[in-house]
Structures are given as structure tokens and as C-alpha cells.
Amino acid sequence: MNITVRVWRQPHADAEGQMVSYEVPDVSEHMSFLEMLDVLNERLTMEGDDPIAFDHDCREGICGSCGVVINGVAHGPQQTTTCQLHMRSFADGAVIDIEPWRAEAFPVIKDLIVDRSAFDRIIQAGGFISAPTGTAPDAHAAPIPKNQADHAFDAATCIGCGACVAACPNGSAMLFTAAKITHLGMLPQGQPERDSRALGMVGQQDEEGFGGCTNIGECTAVCPKGIPLETISRLNRDLLGAMLHGSR
Amino acid sequence: MSDHEHDHDHEHGHGRLENALGKARRAVEHLTHPTEHGFSSLDADAVFELGHDIADTKAPQVEIGERWDARKFNAKLVNPANRRKLSVIIVGTGLAGASAAATLGEAGYNVTTFCYQDSPRRAHSIAAQGGINAAKNYRNDGDSVYRLFYDTVKGGDFRSRESNVYRLAQTSVQIIDQCVAQGVPFAREYGGLLDNRSFGGVQVSRTFYARGQTGQQLLIGAYQALERQIAAKTVTMHTRHEMLELIVVDGKARGVVVRDMVSGEIETHFADAVVLASGGYGNVFFLSTNAMGCNVTATWRAHRKGAYFANPCYTQIHPTCIPVSGDYQSKLTLMSESLRNDGRIWVPLSGEDKRDPREIPEAERDYYLERIYPAFGNLVPRDIASRAAKNVCDEGRGVGPGGLGVYLDFADAIQRLGRKAVEAKYGNLFDMYAQITGENPYETPMRIYPAVHYTMGGLWVDYDLSSNIPGLYVTGEANFSDHGANRLGASALMQGLADGYFVLPNTINDYLSAGPFPKVDATHPAAVEAVEAVHSRIDKLLSIRGTRTVDSFHRELGHIMWDYCGMERTEEGLRKAISRIRELKTEFWSDVNVLGTNEELNQALERAGRVADFFELGELMCIDALVRRESCGGHFRAESQTEDGEALRHDDEFAYVSAWEFGGEDGKPVLHKEPLVYEYVEMKQRSYK
């Protein structure tokens, strides 16, 4: 198949960006979306054009490195990571717009690459259980009901790609933060720091310039791991609880 | 079914010690006369030089079960107040790096870490699917520290160091405790206790898992512990930074040169010790299950500065990956080995049979693993499963495009357990397969083929995980220590976390107790020289402006490696590979096309530097494979096999670790042998029949 891509090109953080059109002939439907960009980049290089910069690493849908907005949708038409999207999802002759995540808290570094370090700082503000190495009791000391463990696991599958932020009209990081709060809050080991976690992480989220949540639900619609919206209710409950308990 | 070898193997122990030492002495004597063996003499002078033997001097000479406690006791300690004055650099923040950084940070050292990704949460440890082994014996199925030790030594085909492996097995139980305390959501049973499953090469269920995302969950646990220390300011993290040179001052590792991958700035960082936790080098094959960015540069640069590179030819080809679909392919995707618990592997009896697999009757299928290895069946170790797949495809019985594939069939499992149960166990893997191939594995058998997955080789380390350069430590896949010539499933996560949480933090203190060492800064001649070397290399890469892209060179190198240093190696093929790699390397340095400048985010420049190092590594891998004229684990030399085609070791001649010293820019690498002594497990040919 033959397609046209229109790609956001921006040489560096302070430069003006613009959409640039490229024809990509002879695309195989079995190619992944990123392999299609690889092929285009090989050609650009041979033509003396700067290849398109994009983040990617595992190409197995688990590291969370990749992520672009495709035709206005974070990660494109399938609810999966960009690296797991294949060209069979597009029609011959398609014109595909490719843009970086758009959010105030995710400034563009170059072309399709954005700075997502704000997510790490949200984790630093409480997204952990304080268990210094060597202090742990036997793993079977605290049985955890299977449904509770499964629930924690479902939230823990978040890959931190940032699609939730990119999809949200408010640029909110609530689904990301809520996934971590749910993961740790469902486990007995996570209870002692439950209040400080909610206050710390939500506070940091605001400080980073993420917007507020107005329950639109775009985040969960594009989440490659299908983190449900109800995790945000859990976050709100934990936050309210923490405020009532008067921690901080 | 039982492993018939076990009866003998359990007669290990004290009485055998003297006997074993005597044998080892004889083995060492033998090593000094390598041409006595029945092989045609190797034209050694052409490709390498033989150096002096080396040995691990750190493992205490006590009973194997006492060694780790003894080492922890006799290693010098650093009192908490003094730790504040000591600094450690850690390169790489996957399981082995993040866990070490978090633990050393908690202990009070000043830690500085680097990763090339935009966050430590993206390290390739995250992609490990199947699980993590631990000798908890929660199943009451006869497991023990000794059995995990035994399985690992045997699975590694008797090419690993007993002391290290025993400690790994001992430490495994603590890892599970630590991870549960951190909130890692392992799979549980309805009673609330942890679930286990079995993995290839063993007959007990000791693998802990978190659906098909065990690596992700363990990494996130280590990442969170690391981020907690970053918040506590004991760890300073530099993301999007790549180590390009090691700084050695007065014979000690004292710092690194890194490139800020956003601004291009070349920076120097100094510390009292340097830890490399930079992962494996499977990407030398271009197509592998590694992440696109995985590279050998950190360890290779250290190698060029004097660190020995051990067993580079030991690579693991994983049997269950999705087959290649076209020339544009950028990577291969692994399907967890756990699939072999319930899936049955087969090919049609006849290569002419091109029917839809569902229409091929039972009698016309060859479940070749079950046929050849009745005791272990589909659960034979990875190296054996991979080569068996290669063999049936070489016979012309492979399936799918190009005939490079075998079926992995769940029809029986779905009938036996029901689709729901299969979905619960493997749902995410099936989804992944469907996403990539566009086929539905619930209805038609999956097609799989082996792919490069893990590298057992790496920088040589002693029992303390110290390289031969004082102050340079190496952890996780980046070192060579625990897996011998073949790694068992679910043991990579175990080793990464054992090294990072429990081993390194209890050995590095022995070295640091002599510090803090004299201050070094960027004006030191060793630092100036390292920085200049980095600049001149980058300038060279950017100035060639040739006619071929970096990827085209990488792809070609990968083909050479796969054809001649892959699942089966021959003397003739390896010699051809060495000369072709040398030619290609020369062409690379005169015809590669890297656009742009250093002072910007330049992904082609990043790749070019990595591929340049892969050429040198690839050549050393082939030399190592050439010198090792035996078959062991993942290293199969066609000239050394039994009558029925199984790998044939030559313990009298090759029971050693090959530790390679860099021989200079155009010089020959120097081989140092560390003789392997087995006091607790009797060496024998592996059998999984």
C-alpha cells in the first residue's frame, strides 16, 4: 500500500514546529507503525534529510517509551501502544497525521519526543512502599485475597506512556496517578503510607502543571492497558480520606 | 517421570572434595597442553594469544553453604557515618542497577545513576514475561537451595562457577520476600498465598510470576525503591545519558564519560567506585528480543580499558518467539517460555504436508520434543528446544512463510482446561500474538521460531562481582557469572535482583572501606584523554557522510552473526565470519552516513556508536566460539556432537571460563582461562531424555 504521513517536525525544544508531508510507498500491511517510520527514516537519511526523532525501545508494548498522536488519537486507532499498531489498521492511500503528545507538562524535546520526567517526580512524591532492602518478612506472612491481588495487579499494569495525559482535554495525569494509588492501596503492605501517598502524589501532579480531572474518560479510552476510570474514584476517596485524617 | 541422574548427583558433599580438587589439578595440567586433544590443531596465532590462568580469590575456602556468610563476615564494613563520604556511579537502571542504587542509597552512600532511556522504568528488564525462580519450596515438591543450585549448574552445562551459583540459589528466597514487601503483585491462589509454576529444564514448581508481566512488576518495584531514594537525595539520576568511556586512574575505576543525549554535551562524572549494570549484548545480532536501544557500549568501553570479557560466545537463543515476517523487521517478539507448560510443539511428519494445521490428523504430526525427550517433553531447556526446532526446519518440515517456524498448539490445553482457564493463564500473550500476526491463536496453532534473547557472557567478575579492574563492579546480565553456557528460564530476573539487592551491597563495602580515594576531576590526564577519545570518535562518525545508513550495516552484521555464530557454529563458518566482520567494519568506518551534529538529539549518532562497538564485540564472539572446540549449552559446535546429535562437551580440555583481555586496536585478544572446579556437582553430559 501507498500512504502519506504528515509529521510534526520541530528541531529542538525552543524552535517553531510544523507539519511536514512525506509520501511512503510500498508499505506492507504486516509492518508495525514504527517500522514504517524506520523505512521512511532510512530514505530521509539517504536523501540528506534529518530523520524523524521518536521515542521507542522494547517494541513489545511494555516499556512505555513510544507514543504519538495518530490522526488525533493517542496511540492511534487501536487501543494499544504505538509499537503494537500495525499498518493493516490503515487503508491504501491513507493520509496519516503524526504528532507528539500535547500537554503543558510534557514539553516537546524534538519532533515526536516529549519530556515525561514529570511522571517520575510524581512517583518520587509517594508512589512507593518504604521497604528498605533486607527488612522484609517471609512472603507468605501476609496472605492477600486473590481478588484484591488481581485488582492491584490490574492497576499495576500501567506502563507510564502518558497517553492518558495526551488524550485528556485538560492535560490531566489523574489516570496515571490513580493507577499507582490503586495498585499500592489495594495491598496490605501499602496501607501505612496510604494517606501521605495520595496527598504527595496529587500535590506533585498539580505542581507539574497537569490539569484537573473532569471525568471525561478520554484517558481510559486510549489507555493501552485498559486502566479503568474507576481507579480515579479510588484516588479521590483516598485523597478525601487523607484530608479528613488531617495528615499534613 | 523422574530425572534418572538424580540418584547419583545427590551423593555430593565433603568426601568428594579431595577427589574433585585432584581432578581440577589434572584439568589445569591438561589445559597447558591443549593440542593433545584429538582436534585438528587450531591456528591460534592468527586470531588470539594465550595468557596466564586466572582465578576467583574472593570466595572463602569453606563449605559451599557457608561461603556467603563467611564472605559477608570477613568483608570490611563501612560505618554509617563514613558512607556519606563515599560515592558510587551506577550505569544502567534495570533490575540489577535500580535495585543496587536503591539499596546503596538506603545504606547512605552517594549514588549517581545513568540510563539511556527517558526513565528508569523503561529498562528492558520490563519485558521479561514468565517469572522469577526462588527455592521457597512452597509447593512441598522437594525443592531446596541445593536443588536450585544443582539445576542451575546442570542447566548451564557445567560452565558456571559453583560458589556464585550456590549464593544465587541461597539469595533467591530473600528476593521474593523483598518484592512482596514492596508491593509487587505476584499471582496468588484463592487462599491468598503465592502461586507457582514450573519452567523449562526443571521438575519442580518454583517460579513466581505476575501473569505474563513478571519483569514489569519486579522492575516497577525496583524503580519505585529507586525513586524513593532520589526523593531522599541519596541518589542522583541522569536519564537520557549514555556512558561512552570509563575513566581509570592509577589502575582504579574512578569515573565515566557520558553524553547527554538531548544536548549532546559530553560530561565527566567521578566516584570511588563504578558499577556497570548495563545489560546484555544480544543486539549484536540486529534482530533479537532485546529492546532497540540495548547495547554493549558501556561494558565494551570498559573492556577496552582492561576489563576482561568472559565467554562472549555464550548466547541464548530462545525457542518461543514470533517468526520473522519481512525485511523491514526491526525486532523479534518473545512469547514466554511458560507457554510450553500447556502448549505442545509439533511439525507435520512430512515436509510436503501444506494443509491447514487443524486438518492434519494426530498420526501425521511429529511432536518432536515429546518424542526425543520423553522425560522433559516440551519443557526441555531453551538451548535444546531451539536447536530441535532448527533441526526440523533444516529437514524441510518447518511451517509458515520461508519454512522457518514450528507449531505451538493449545488445542489440547483448551480441551482439557477450557478456554477460560487458558485465557487466564496466557491471555496477554495470546493477545500479543494476535496483534502482531493478525491470527487468532485460540483457533489456529501459533507459529514460533527461535530468536536471540539473552547473553550469558559478559564482563568477568569474581565472587564479589568485581571485575579485574579494582573499583569496577558488574551486575546482572552485564556480567558473566551465574548461568554458564545456558540460562534456565526465570533465572535472569533472579540474578539481576540478587546482584543488586543482596550481593553487591554486601561486597562493595570491602572495597569502599579503603576510601574515600583522592579526589579526581576533569583536569586529570586520564579524564582528559577519555573525553578526547569520545570527541574524536563522534567527530569521525559525523564526518564520514558515506553512502550507507547505520541500520544497513547493523543488519548485515546481524546476518553474519546469525549465520555463523548462531544456533550452530563450525570452524569454517567462524573463520569466514571473522574475516567478513573485519571487512564490514572497515567499510563502516569509511562509508557510514550519520547526519546532523553532536550538539542535538541525534538518534542516528547514538546508534552509530553502538554499532561500531558491536563490530568489535562480534569479532571477539566468533574468536571465542572458534577457540571453544566443544559444544556446551547455547554454544553448539557441529564438529562436537554425539551420535544422536546432542551437544558433546570436552571437560578435559574446556572446563574453564574464557576471560578475554583487549589486545589493542589492531592486536590480538589475549585468552585468560579460569579453570572451573566442581566440588559439589558431578560433571556429566546433560540428559533430558
Maximum separation of any 2 CA atoms in chain A, in Å: 63
**Given B382, B397, B629, B637, which residue is catalytic?**
B382
Task: Give the integer Cα–Cα distance in Å for B551 and B574.
Answer: 23
Q: Which residues pair with A19 in a beta bridge?
A: A8
Which three cell numbers mark B85? 563520604
Instruction: Count the alpha carbons within 13 Å of B40 in the hemisphere toward its beta carbon.
Output: 6
Q: What is the CATH number of the domain that holds A9?
A: 3.10.20.30
Q: Which three cell numbers stand for residue B68?
A: 556467603
DSSP label at B237? E
Q: B31-74, pLDDT tens digit by residue?
A: 434 443 434 445 555 899 999 999 999 999 999 999 999 999 99
CB neighbourhood size of A97 (10 A): 17
Whether B178 sits inside 8 A of A133 (CB atoms) is: yes
What domain range is A66 assigned to? 3-110
Q: Which of B103, B104, B137, B228 to mutate to test the interface with A (most CBs of A within 10 A)?
A: B228
Q: Touching check for B332 and chain A: CB below 8 Å?
A: no
Cross-chain Cβ contact B185/A45 below 8 Å: no
Together in a domain, A106 and A157: no
Beta carbons of B230 and A124 less than 8 Å apart = yes
Task: For chains A and B, count residue pairs whose Cβ atoms are closer than 8 Å.
Answer: 218
Condensed to tens digits (0 to 9), the pLDDT of residues A118-140 reads 999 999 999 999 999 999 999 99
Contact B124 A57 (CB under 8 A): yes
Place of cell 590462568: B53
| 639-668 in chain B: CB under 8 A from chain A | none
Residues of chain B with pLDDT under 50: 1-41
All three cell numbers of A14, joined, read 525552543
- State the CATH number of the domain containing residue A224: 1.10.1060.10
In a 3-state reduction of DSSP, which class is residue B278? coil
Closest CA to B225 of A197, A180, A129: A129
Phi, psi of B387 (to 5 degrees): -70, -35
**Residue A63 and residue A97 in one domain:** yes
Q: Which domains does chain B have, with CATH numbers?
A: 56-256+274-314+454-512 (3.50.50.60), 318-451 (3.90.700.10), 525-663 (1.20.58.100)
| B382: annotated active-site residue | yes
B549/A135 touch (CB, cutoff 8 Å), yes or no: no
Burial class (CB within 10 angstroms; exposed 0-12, middle 13-18, buried 19+) of B38: exposed
What's the DSSP call for residue B685? -
The residue among B475, B574, B35 whose CA lies nearest residue B273 is B475
Smallest Cβ–Cβ distance between B225 and the set A58, A116, A128 belongs to: A128
Relative to beta strand B406-409, strand B656-661 is unpaired
> Do A159 and A93 belong to one domain?
no
Query: Quick check: B193 and A145 CB within 8 A?
Result: no
Cross-strand pairs, B641: B647
Nearest-angstrom CA–CA distance, A80 and A75: 7
| Distances B264 to B90, B145, B416, B538, B606 between C-alpha atoms, Å | 20, 48, 58, 10, 10
* Together in a domain, A147 and A210: yes
Query: Of chain A residues 71-130, which have a CB less than 8 A from chain B?
Result: 78, 80, 84, 86, 88, 109-110, 113, 115-117, 119-120, 123-125, 127-130
Let me know: does B308 contact B659? Beta carbons within 8 Å: yes
CA angle B407, B413, B419 (to 5 degrees): 110
Beta bridge partner(s), residue B316: B454
**Residue A106 pLDDT greater than 70, yes or no:** yes
Residues of chain B contacting A45 with CB distance shorter than 8 Å: 549, 593, 595, 604
| Residues A151, A105 within the same domain | no
Instruction: Nearest by CB to A57, from B291, B547, B601: name it.
Output: B291
Written in H, E and C, the secondary structure of B415-430 is HHHCHHHHHHHHHHHH
Q: Which of residues 402-461 of B touch A (CB under 8 A)?
A: 432, 435-436, 438
Which phi and psi (to 5°) does residue B467 adopt?
Answer: -75, -175
* φ, ψ at B674 (rounded to 5°): -105, 105
pLDDT at B14: 43
Q: Are B402 and B342 in contact (CB under 8 A)?
A: no
* For range A79-99, the mean pLDDT: 97
- The answer to whether residue B135 neighbours chain A at the CB level (below 8 Å) is no
The runs of H, that is alpha helices, within B472-570 are 492-497, 504-512, 525-544, 550-564
Q: Does B293 touch chain A (CB under 8 A)?
A: yes
- Judgement on whether residues A233 and A169 belong to the same structural domain of the protein: yes
Is B604 within 8 Å of A45 when comparing Cβ atoms?
Answer: yes
Angle in degrees, CA B172, B176, B180, rounded to 5: 165
> CA angle, corner B236, sides to B230 and B241, nearest 5?
120
Between positions 130 and 159 of A, the ones with CB within 8 A of B are 130-140, 142-146, 149-150, 152-153, 156-157, 159
> Quick check: B17 contacting A, CB < 8 Å?
no
Q: Which residue is associated with the grid cell 557457608?
A: B66
Q: What residue type is B453 in one-letter code? A: H
Please choose, from the candidates B207, B203, B150, B140, the residue with its C-alpha nearest in 3D space to the C-alpha of residue B1: B203
Burial class for B536, CB neighbours closer than 10 Å (0-12, 13-18, 19+): exposed
Residues 170-189 of chain B with CB under 8 A from chain A are: 174, 176-183, 185-189
A78 & A121 share domain: no
Contacts of B29 (CB under 8 A, 6+ apart): none
* pLDDT on residue B414: 96
Mutation test of the interface with chain A: which of B93, B115, B122, choosing the one with the most A Cβ atoms within 10 A? B122
Mean pLDDT computed over A29-35: 95
- Cβ-defined contact of A63 to B124 (cutoff 8 Å): yes
Least CB-CB distance to A146: which of B106, B189, B333?
B189
Task: Quote the number of domains for chain A.
Answer: 2
Contact (Cβ atoms closer than 8 angstroms) between residue B658 and residue B628: yes
- The whole-number pLDDT of residue A194 equals 97
ipTM of the complex: 0.98
Same domain? A18 vs A104: yes
Query: Do A168 and A72 reside in the same domain of the chain?
Result: no
A11, A94: one domain = yes
A146 vs B contacts (CB less than 8 Å): 188-190, 192
pLDDT tops 80 at residue A170 = yes
Query: Between chains, do B122 and A64 touch, taking CB under 8 Å as contact?
Result: yes
Q: How far apart, in whole angstroms, are the C-alpha atoms of residue B503 and residue B495?
A: 10
Cβ distance of A60 and B432 shorter than 8 Å: yes
For residue B281, what is its C-alpha cell? 549484548
Question: Which of B186, B215, B549 is facing A46, going by the closest CB pair?
Answer: B549
Count CB-CB contacts under 10 A for residue B666.
5
Position A247 scores a pLDDT of: 54
User: What CA–CA distance (Å, rounded) separates B301 from B278?
Assistant: 12
Give the full edge-to-edge strand order of the sheet including B110-114.
B235-238, B110-114, B87-91, B273-276, B472-474
Residues A71 and A158 in one domain: no
The letter for the amino acid at B332 is L
In the block, which residue shows the cell 499494569? Answer: A157
The answer to whether residue B106 neighbours chain A at the CB level (below 8 Å) is yes
Using alpha carbons, select from B334, B291, B317 the residue that is nearest to residue B610.
Answer: B291
- Does residue A99 sit in the same domain as residue A126? no
